[in-house]
Amino acid sequence: MTSKVCIEINNLTKRYKSSEEDSLKNINLTIHSGDKFGILGPNGAGKTTLISIICGIISSNGGNIKYFDKDKEINLKTFRKKIGFVPQEYAFYQELTPNQNLEYFGALYNLSKKEIKSRSEKLLHLLGLSKVSDKKVQIFSSGMKRRINLAIGIIHEPTILFLDEPTVGVDVQSKNAIIEFLNKINREGTTIVYTSHHMTEAEEFCKSIALLDNGKLIACDDMKNLLNLHKAPSLESLFINLTGEEYRDYV
């Protein structure tokens, strides 16, 4: 059975005012409900820009995005109510505790106090943070902060979750805990759109991938199909073959 489309991107283009070149160039791709969809590419490829446009954080210069709930097309305002967004930067208050952060952000989603309490307890337990729920986040390790970032992004139980480098700079235990949790909510029906520089992690986690390079979509398909098509033994090998080996330093 073919899964339903939840996001359809057509000829999407973006150029920042300070740039002489497009950050995204006529991007076309489709994301299906229930997928674990990786958006991968070298530094400056346009990954964060693409996610930011999909979520309505920034606007595009051309093209369009269609959003769907089951078979019905919905507008961006309705779509936003269904999404969670976990940025690469920490998006919480360092001087507050996990409980206080979740209470604050839960209220922004119009959750009741009862819902916030119940969901906070569940999330902190699943992410291994129950014992530090009343300690200030500023004393936490980077891995613990990543898990708080994740908990905040899903307190409202979104049906589509966007993750920008969710395991960057964390220890092995935290990375495993985050990936295990993401697999759990995906099995329960959450669609996940994910960016990462960790090719081994992406290969193990993602079902489908889109490879960007210099703002262009250079490959997009089911992970296994792409590896077979290019006769690549691994995602890292495929990535290097398609994007080259030169340094990608941006200032």
The pLDDT-based confidence of 1 (bands split at 50, 70, 90) is very low
pLDDT at 212 over 60: yes
Supply the pLDDT for residue 169: 80
d(CA 246, CA 241): 11
- Express each pLDDT in 44-58 by its tens digit: 889 999 999 999 999
Query: What is the average pLDDT across 123-152?
Result: 93
Out of 70-79, 160-169, 170-179, 237-246, least confident range: 237-246
3-state helix/strand/coil string of 86-138 = ECCCCCCCCCCCHHHHHHHHHHHCCCCHHHHHHHHHHHHHHCCCHHHCCCCHH
pTM of the model: 0.90
Supply the pLDDT for residue 148: 94
- Express each pLDDT in 181-196 by its tens digit: 999 999 999 999 999 8
**Contact between residue 238 and residue 229 where contact means Cβ atoms under 8 Å apart:** no
Supply the pLDDT for residue 124: 95
Supply the pLDDT for residue 83: 94
pLDDT at 228 over 50: yes
Supply the pLDDT for residue 248: 52
Give the whole-number percent of the chain exceeding pLDDT 90: 73
At residue 161's C-alpha, the angle toward residues 155 and 167, to 5°, is 90
Query: What is the average pLDDT across 80-104?
Result: 94
Can you list the domains of the chain with their CATH numbers?
1-82+193-251 (3.40.50.300)
Supply the pLDDT for residue 251: 46
DSSP assignment letter at 72: E
* SS3 category, 193: strand
Task: Concatenate the DSSP letters of all residues of 130-171 into one string.
Answer: GGGTTS-GGGS-HHHHHHHHHHHHHTT--SEEEEESTTTT--
Query: What is the average pLDDT across 90-100?
Result: 95
